[in-house]
Structure 1
């Protein structure tokens, strides 16, 4: 994927948070901004076909509790931070 330069206006407080996150993760501020743009582009994408038909379902293996979701998100976040640190180091 090629990169194209663009200019955006951002809230000063957001830029401060980005600067802090970049320093903490050992990546550039630009990488944080690019990832944010990419995530929002994917999150707002409209697909031509539904992921599942009305007849299809996913078996998640039973009820999923809020503690299970919290543990999964925490684990994924920690893993992402470790990977970012390895890329920087």
Structure 2
């Protein structure tokens, strides 16, 4: 469900006068950065994560601030540390993003 959120969410409001900080993106990323460490986080979920992150970056209409970018990056750092994501996958994804 969290991966689906990254792929389909289009409201990236960080805060509102009425509610204050409401930015769900960092919270989603925090949850995914923990989930990717779990042994049942499959290689298919990793592929889904890459695809969802692509969609997120295509759909977002503002720059990510430092905390948001850091939270997003932590998912991939934890995936790499926990051998869910390889150097080759990161390299290919980086190439895709920069083209």
In which range does the TM-score fall when normalised by the shorter chain? under 0.3
TM norm structure 2: 0.25
Greater C-alpha radius of gyration: 1
* Structure with greater helix percent: 2
